[in-house]
Structure 1
Amino acid sequence: MLNKISKYRLLLGGILLTMLQACATVSHPDPADPWEGMNRGIFSFNDQVDKFVLKPVAKGYQWVTPEFVDVGISNFFANLKDIGVSVNGFLQAKPKQGGMDTARFLVNSTAGIAGFIDVATMIDLPKHEEDFAQTLAVWGVPRGPYFVLPLLGPSSVRGVGGYVGDSALHPLTYTFFFGSSAVSWGLSVGLRTVEIVDVRADFLGAEAVASEAAVDRYIFFRSAYMQRRDYLISDGAAQPLDFEGMDGEDLGEDLYEDLE
C-alpha cells in the first residue's frame, strides 16, 4: 500500500514539476489564456497519456472493429447524448429544436434499436449539437480563461461548468452513482471506456492532419477549440475557422467537426 502511495506521489510530483517548468517559459500569455504556462504543462501530460495509452488502444479498436459496427457504436453513444441535447435546446429557448431532438431520441431508441441505427436522420430529424456550456453562454455567463483539463483536454472556466451540467444529464452518470449492484457500476464504467475509445478512434485521421499542419500544436488546438465553441454558440453565424500557428490552408471538414 505504501509503495502505491509513493508511486502516486511521484507521478503527481512529476506532473506538477512539468506544469511549473512550462509556466516559466511563458512571459507574455494571450489575454484569453492567462494560464498558458500551466495549460501547456497539462497539454503535454495529456499528449503523453494519449501517445502511450489511448492512441494505441484506439488504433487496435479501429483495426478489429468492422466499419458497420463502429458506426453503430458511435450512433448508440450519440443517441444517449441526445437527451442532454434536447434539454439544452429547451433551456436555450429553442422549443421547436428541442421537440425535434426529443423526437429524434425516441425514434432512434425504438425503431433504431437503442440508437445503433440512425433512423431519425433518414426521416429528416437532423442531429444538433447543444450542450450545457452553450446554454450558459446563452444565459450570459462569460467564457472566462482558457483552461486545459487533465485527461479531458481543452476547455474554459465556463466549459468546466458545462461539463458538470452535461454529466448530470447523461444516463451513464446515474448508472454509475446510483446503480444498485456491482454489475450496473461495471456496465457504466465499461460503456464510458468504450465511448472514449470510439471517439478517439474516429478522431485518428483528423488528429494526424492537425499534427502535420500545426507549427505549434498547443496554439493550434487552443484556436480550434475557441473558434469551434464560438461557432456552436452562435449556431453557425461565426466566421470560418482561422487557425493560428499552422501550415496549410484547408484541414478538412472532419477536423472542424471533431474539435470541441
Structure 2
Amino acid sequence: MQVRKTGLFAAVGVMALLSGCATVQTADPKDPWESWNRSMQSFNDGVDDYVMKPVAKGYQWITPDFVDQGVTNFFSNINDIGVCTNNALQGKFLLSGMDAARFLVNTTAGVAGLVDVGSMIDLPKHNEDFDQTLGVWGLPTGPYLVLPFFGPSSPRGLTGLIGDAAMNPLTYAGIYLNPEWIGAAVSIGGGAVKAIDTRADLLGMEKVATEGALDRYQFFRDAYLSNRNYLVNDGNVSEDDVLKFEELKDEGYGPINPNPY
C-alpha cells in the first residue's frame, strides 16, 4: 500500500508536463515566480504535444511490449546506482545494501538489467534521489520552479538534478568511450531513449491532467510540492496533505515511474 501511494504522488507530479496553461492567478508564498512558471509550463506543454507525445506514440506502436519493458528495466537498473548512493547518504544503510544487491543481481542474472530479477527475489525497487537527500539533510525546498523541458522543480530540485546526473554512469560515457563522438552519442542517445520510453509509459495518464482540477497549474504545483514532502519524509506526512491521493487510487490510477524526462 505504501509503495502504491508513493507511486500515486509521483504520477500526479510528473503529469505537470501534460497540463495546460491556466488563466487563474493566485498569490502563494510558495510560488513567487508564478508568471514565469505558467509560461514555462505552457512551453513544456507545446513541446510535449508536438514532439514528445507523437514520438512516444510511435515508439509504443512499433515496440513490442517485452522490448518496451526491457528498456524500462534497463534504465531503472542504472538508476539503482543513484538510489543506492542516496540511501547511503541518508544513513539508510540496510536499504542501500539491498539496492546494491538488486543492482548486482539485475546486472548479472537480469542481463544488464533488461529483466527485473531483483523484484522476483524480494529486492524491491526504491525511490531515492539527490533532492530527497538534500531534504533529509535539512535543506528547504525553496519556491516552486518550472524548468524548460524538465518540468516541475525547485532550487533544491535543480541542485538535485545535477547530483543525480553525477551519479549516472551514462554522464561519463564521453570520457571513457573512444572516439569521443561515440561517447557523446551514447550519453545523449541514452538520455533521449529514456525520455521517450518514460513518456510512452505515461500516455494513459492524460485523464489525471484533464480532470484533476479547474486550475490545473495550481493542482500540479501543489501536487509536486506535496509529492516531494512525502518522499523526503518517507510517507510520514499528515492526513490533511495538499491532495487526497487515495481518491485517485480508488479511481484506478496506479504507480508509475516518478521521473518524467
- Matched with 1:33 is 31
Which secondary structure does the structure 1 equivalent of 2:248 belong to? coil
1:106-157: CA deviations, max 9, x gaps? 1000000000000001110011001000000111111100100000000011
2:226 aligned with 1:227, yes or no?
yes
Q: CA deviation at 1:258?
A: 4.4
- Matched with 1:191 is 190
Q: Distance in 2 between matches of 1:226 and 1:83?
A: 25
TM-score by length of 2: 0.83
Q: CA deviation at 1:64?
A: 1.1
2:100 aligned with 1:99, yes or no?
no
Is 1:35–1:147's contact at 8 Å kept on the other side of the alignment?
yes
TM-score by length of 1: 0.83
Which secondary structure does the structure 2 equivalent of 1:154 belong to? strand
- Matched with 1:88 is 86
Q: Distance in 2 between matches of 1:218 and 1:202?
A: 22
**Aligned CA distance change for structure 1 residues 206 and 53 (closer, same or farther; 3 Å):** same
Q: Distance in 2 between matches of 1:222 and 1:256?
A: 19
The one-letter amino acid of 1:212's match is: E
Is 2:174–2:182's contact at 8 Å kept on the other side of the alignment?
no
1:190-232: CA deviations, max 9, x gaps? 1111100000111111233322333122112212211111111
- Matched with 1:128 is 126
Q: Distance in 2 between matches of 1:204 and 1:215?
A: 21
Q: CA deviation at 1:180?
A: 3.2
1:206-245 matched pairs, under 5 angstroms:
206-239=205-238, 242-243=242-243
Is 2:24–2:215's contact at 8 Å kept on the other side of the alignment?
no
The one-letter amino acid of 2:71's match is: I
**Aligned CA distance change for structure 1 residues 116 and 239 (closer, same or farther; 3 Å):** farther
Q: Distance in 1 between matches of 2:70 and 2:133?
A: 29
2:156 aligned with 1:158, yes or no?
yes
Q: Distance in 1 between matches of 2:120 and 2:188?
A: 31
Is 1:32–1:145's contact at 8 Å kept on the other side of the alignment?
yes
Which secondary structure does the structure 1 equivalent of 2:153 belong to? strand
1:153-199: CA deviations, max 9, x gaps? 00011000100000000011111455432122112211111100000
- Matched with 2:46 is 48
Asked which structure has the greater CA Rg, the reply is 1
**Aligned CA distance change for structure 1 residues 193 and 27 (closer, same or farther; 3 Å):** closer
Identity %: 54
The one-letter amino acid of 1:157's match is: P
Is 1:46–1:153's contact at 8 Å kept on the other side of the alignment?
yes
Which secondary structure does the structure 2 equivalent of 1:250 belong to? helix
Is 1:137–1:233's contact at 8 Å kept on the other side of the alignment?
yes
Q: Distance in 1 between matches of 2:110 and 2:237?
A: 33
Q: Distance in 2 between matches of 1:151 and 1:234?
A: 27
Q: Distance in 2 between matches of 1:253 and 1:81?
A: 27
**Aligned CA distance change for structure 1 residues 54 and 176 (closer, same or farther; 3 Å):** farther
Q: CA deviation at 1:61?
A: 0.8
Give the paired residue count.
Answer: 234
**Aligned CA distance change for structure 1 residues 110 and 62 (closer, same or farther; 3 Å):** same
Mark the runs of 5 or more structure 2 residues left unpaired by the alignment. Answer: 1-20
